[in-house]
């Protein structure tokens, strides 16, 4: 049986399609991993660092940084960095990062395919040359049509070029980041409403003391012989029960304060 002839152009087209599908598969896997990680934390610093790390690892980047916009419109705060996770809460001047300023101001993705050809980055040519930077992509993080931050990505000159599908992938990640920030913000507001100071600590200690008290009380009664029914309990005076409850609560508060 003769093998059917397939033109070289068709083979090349099919191979390119396979590479494209594999590329998309990696994007989907990265999104799933990001979703799993941000679902496991409600603290925005941990969430931002996890996203920056995933993006840096997925693309083999020179830099993957996440910034949050400041109210003055002139600065932004670096809250997560792939290349140096220890850098957090660092304020940068937007005059030094025109691409970041453009993304935050206009709320649109800024893609610079070759930093050497962009006149607005001429003052950073020495830095880009030393780090072999090729492309810069800045994707705004928007919430209710307002830019609240941005994700900045830089590729190496000898690395893979950023494709349009890569930019779309980063925009999806930015959307997930905005939702994660919203959830983290709600959680922190809830913590503030409930209380996260000495009062909350005292309440928690009282709860622990109460559990310990009830365990000791039940152990004591179950170790003795005799009836333990509602009928027996009903014979006790309601006033006496209230008095004993008050004494118990006082003891619990004292025990919690002493810890």
Q: Which residue has the tokens 């059917």?
A: 4
Flag whether 1 is in a domain. Answer: no
Is 61 in contact with 18 (CB distance < 8 Å)?
A: no
Domain assignment present for residue 70? The answer is yes
Tokens 């598969």, located at residue: 25
Do 110 and 170 reside in the same domain of the chain?
A: yes
Q: Which residues contact 4 (CB under 8 A, 6 or more apart)?
A: none
Domain limit, last residue, from 145, 170, 194: 194
What is the enclosing helix (H) or strand (E) of 149?
strand 146-156
Q: Is residue 3 part of a domain?
A: no
Q: Judge contact between 139 and 118, C-beta under 8 A.
A: no
In a domain, 126, yes or no: yes
The answer to whether residues 38 and 180 touch, using CB atoms and an 8 Å cutoff, is yes
Please tell me the distance from the alpha carbon of residue 132 to that of residue 115, in angstroms, as a whole number: 10
pTM of the model: 0.65
110 belongs to a structural domain: yes
Mean pLDDT by 10 residues, the chain (259 residues): 69 78 77 75 80 87 92 92 88 92 94 89 86 92 90 87 85 88 72 60 63 58 49 48 58 58
Are residues 206 and 148 part of one domain? no
The verdict on residue 68 lying in a domain is yes
Residue 47 is encoded by which pair of tokens?
């969430």
Q: Do residue 216 and residue 242 come from a single domain?
A: yes
What would the 3-class secondary structure string for 207-234 be? HHHHHHHHHHHHHHHHCCCCCCCHHHHH
Find residue 138's DSSP bridge partners.
110, 152
Q: What is the pairing mode between strands 90-93 and 75-81?
A: antiparallel
Q: Which of 155, 170, 194 is the last residue of a domain?
A: 194
Please tell me whether residues 134 and 247 are part of one structural domain: no
149 and 207 together in one domain: no
Residues 89 and 77: beta-carbon distance below 8 Å: yes
- Asked if residue 150 and residue 99 are part of one domain, the reply reads yes
Give me the pLDDT at residue 180, please.
Answer: 83
Yes or no: say if 184 and 44 are a contact pair by the CB < 8 Å rule. yes
Which residues in 106-135 are b (16+ Cβ under 10 Å) and which e? eeebbbbeebeebeebeebeeebeeeebbb
From CA 75, how far away is CA 243, in angstroms rounded?
A: 62
| Whether the Cβ atoms of residue 112 and residue 135 lie closer than 8 Å to each other | yes
DSSP bridge partners of 152: 65, 138
Domain co-membership, 138 together with 213: no
Domain boundary (149, 176, 194) is at 194
Same domain flag for 17 and 71: yes
Per the CB < 8 A criterion, the answer to whether 165 and 172 are in contact is: no
Whether residue 164 sits in one domain with residue 224? no
Number of domains the chain is built from:
2
pLDDT at 193: 62
Check whether residue 97 and residue 179 sit in a common domain: yes
- Please report the pLDDT score of residue 232 as a whole number: 46
Asked if the structure places residue 92 within a domain, the reply is yes
Residue 48's domain comprises 8-194
What's the confidence (pLDDT) of residue 234?
Answer: 47
SS3 155: strand
The reply to whether 250 and 205 lie within a common domain is yes
pLDDT of residue 77: 93
Q: Cβ(182)–Cβ(161) under 8 Å?
A: no
Say whether both 74 and 54 belong to one domain.
yes
Does 184 fall in a domain? yes
């Amino acid at each position: 049986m003769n093998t059917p002839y397939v033109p070289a152009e068709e083979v090349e087209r099919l191979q390119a399609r396979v590479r494209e599908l594999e590329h998309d598969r990696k994007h989907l896997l990265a999104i799933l991993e990001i979703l799993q990680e941000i679902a496991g934390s409600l603290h925005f610093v941990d969430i931002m660092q996890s996203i920056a790390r995933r993006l840096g690892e997925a693309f083999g980047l020179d830099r993957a940084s996440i910034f949050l916009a400041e109210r003055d419109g002139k600065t932004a705060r670096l809250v997560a960095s792939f290349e140096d996770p220890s850098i957090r809460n660092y304020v940068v001047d937007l005059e030094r990062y025109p691409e970041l300023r453009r993304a935050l101001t206009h709320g649109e993705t800024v893609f610079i395919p070759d930093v050497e050809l962009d006149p607005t980055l001429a003052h950073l040519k020495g830095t880009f040359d030393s780090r072999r930077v090729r492309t810069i992509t800045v994707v705004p993080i928007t919430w209710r049509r307002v830019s609240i931050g941005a994700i900045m990505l830089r590729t190496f000159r000898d690395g893979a070029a950023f494709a349009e599908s890569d930019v779309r992938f980063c925009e999806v990640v930015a959307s997930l980041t905005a939702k994660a920030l919203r959830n983290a913000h709600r959680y922190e507001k809830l913590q503030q409403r409930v209380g996260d100071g000495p009062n909350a600590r005292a309440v928690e200690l009282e709860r622990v003391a109460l559990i310990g008290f009830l365990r000791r009380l039940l152990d004591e009664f179950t170790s003795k012989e005799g009836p333990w029914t509602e009928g027996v309990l009903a014979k006790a005076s309601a006033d006496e029960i209230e008095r004993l409850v008050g004494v118990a609560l006082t003891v619990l508060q004292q025990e919690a304060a002493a810890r």
